[in-house]
Structure 1
């Protein structure tokens, strides 16, 4: 990767990027489906969820779910689906990570946004209390801290400030970033943010790197503007878009950030 020395700004995502947790979705689904009359039982939904994440389902990460027809489709960066909302309902939902798969199940089974938000808040609370496999990755945070060769280290999360701030504080990550933007409204918000950032800082697109686990939210907007992208996910994906870097673990991400730092220092 002979472009690492060009990076001036690194954009980080929160969930699935600053931490990885392979069990939270089970509790999330339990809170949503343990009560009420649904077309499928909680056990059936958990089994389907596991198949989706493990690549054993006909669909999965990287595909689009269409609520109106209860069908899935597969598209690429060159031919993306248009996902705007219509009458307050999503036309399509990108299965970018485990969080979005849970959202797909809620839409599919008619669970309202208020109940989903309540369950989300509870899961966040339990994660902070240590009731899941969520844990702080000291090596990654040290790598971010030592990434002094870039101009800006920015954290953009779609999480609202009331929950996001507490969660980031629990990670001990408040001081790692030049700035933190809550309620970022990705993907559209990221495209707008990057455009404004380039104007304000006098940057070329290729000097900006975005790192995230949800390709549609974190990578597509940056790639379309000509920026660099690093996709991190422990799950297989049908999305064959040509991201600049493919990572699976936080150890790999920490090593990648160290490589950026070394490359920047060599070209000072």
Structure 2
């Protein structure tokens, strides 16, 4: 997803967090991400990549969709899901503990980070772009080919309007109502998306998400905005961070700030960005697997 956050969120390292999700008994608030979590339609991101490929001049967009597929399927020589890239230099950076450790050029050859100021803790407002979901992968690869922010935004808007068009058949998970019902018993529901209300409201309405969602935050400016929304919920309802469960597909945008605050987190991780589940309370390959596990999770301490 696109993000407009300009706030740096330093991440502590070497901590054993967040706490595992062993039951739902002490959860009072559930905060969901939208795209890639409650709704996942590859036709929309495919449309986004296709528009960008077609709009680039002098053939610079040729092969963008194939390159995106290579990244997603782990065939790219440099960029991998869960890594960072610096588009202007065309380098990919490994930061397994959110600290830039080593880098390679676009062909996979090692390059130095010593003289460019990229070594050290990754910052949310820095030059590096996280490859945490398909939107981010497409945007970063297009930026490496010279696409500016205005073209990215235009393609994003067109893709969202394509998904919102009534002629585009809605893909709605068969497990969505089941998950919402399972979690809703005595709990407040929040929804946060970085997409503007103009572009995201039609999807929310088509998915029939209001109710049960008490607060829907459009243009949420995650990751910084995610922490802000959690702070608001804590103050308004007098709850502890450990009583908040955050569910999202993008580790960097959706889950690390809440985990840093002490919330429980569930990572829907189809791209395999954190297969060892080091940075979440629970990790699942897809929404269906989460729904199945949720049936077995006790609802009492």
- Is this a same-fold pair by TM over 0.5? yes
Equivalent residues of 2:170, 2:206 under 8 A apart:
no
Structure 2: unaligned runs, 5 residues or longer: 1-20, 100-120
CA RMSD of aligned residues (A): 2.4
Q: Distance in 2 between matches of 1:27 and 1:38?
A: 20
The structure-2 alpha-carbon separation of the partners of 1:190 and 1:77, relative to structure 1 and needing over 3 Å to count, comes to farther
Equivalent residues of 2:52, 2:61 under 8 A apart:
no
Match of 1:61 in 2: 81
Match of 1:110 in 2: 146
Query: Residue 37 of structure 1 is aligned with which of 30, 48, 57?
Result: 57
Q: Distance in 2 between matches of 1:188 and 1:38?
A: 37
The structure-2 alpha-carbon separation of the partners of 1:150 and 1:253, relative to structure 1 and needing over 3 Å to count, comes to farther
Whether 1:100 aligns to 2:114 is no
**Per-residue Cα deviation, 1:59-89 (whole angstroms, up to 9, x for no partner):** 221111113422111224564511315xxxx
Q: Distance in 1 between matches of 2:168 and 2:73?
A: 19
Residues 61-80 of structure 1 mapped to structure 2, 5 A cutoff:
61-77=81-97, 79=99, 80=121
Q: Distance in 2 between matches of 1:67 and 1:36?
A: 16
Equivalent residues of 1:62, 1:237 under 8 A apart:
yes
Match of 1:4 in 2: 24
Query: Residue 82 of structure 1 is aligned with which of 112, 116, 123?
Result: 123
**Per-residue Cα deviation, 1:131-167 (whole angstroms, up to 9, x for no partner):** 7786012431243034332421110111101111111
Residues 210-221 of structure 1 mapped to structure 2, 5 A cutoff:
210-221=246-257
Structure 1: unaligned runs, 5 residues or longer: 86-90
Query: What TM-score do you get using the length of structure 1 for normalisation?
Result: 0.86
**Per-residue Cα deviation, 1:76-121 (whole angstroms, up to 9, x for no partner):** 4564511315xxxxx1111110001111023212222222222222
Whether 1:190 aligns to 2:190 is no
Q: Distance in 1 between matches of 2:178 and 2:45?
A: 27
Give aligned pairs, total. 258
Q: Distance in 1 between matches of 2:89 and 2:161?
A: 34
Q: Distance in 2 between matches of 1:175 and 1:138?
A: 18
Residues 115-264 of structure 1 mapped to structure 2, 5 A cutoff:
115-129=151-165, 135-237=171-273, 241-259=278-296, 263-264=298-299
Deviation at 1:14, TM superposition (A): 0.5
**Per-residue Cα deviation, 1:184-228 (whole angstroms, up to 9, x for no partner):** 110011112212322332222211111111111100001111111
Whether 1:16 aligns to 2:36 is yes
Question: 1:34 is paired with a residue of what secondary structure?
Answer: helix
Match of 1:88 in 2: none
Q: Distance in 1 between matches of 2:71 and 2:137?
A: 8
**Per-residue Cα deviation, 1:170-189 (whole angstroms, up to 9, x for no partner):** 22222231211111110011
Query: What TM-score do you get using the length of structure 2 for normalisation?
Result: 0.77
Query: Residue 67 of structure 2 is aligned with which of 23, 35, 48?
Result: 48
The structure-2 alpha-carbon separation of the partners of 1:36 and 1:55, relative to structure 1 and needing over 3 Å to count, comes to closer
The structure-2 alpha-carbon separation of the partners of 1:78 and 1:206, relative to structure 1 and needing over 3 Å to count, comes to farther
Higher deviation after alignment, 46-55 or 8-17: 46-55
Question: 2:57 is paired with a residue of what secondary structure?
Answer: coil
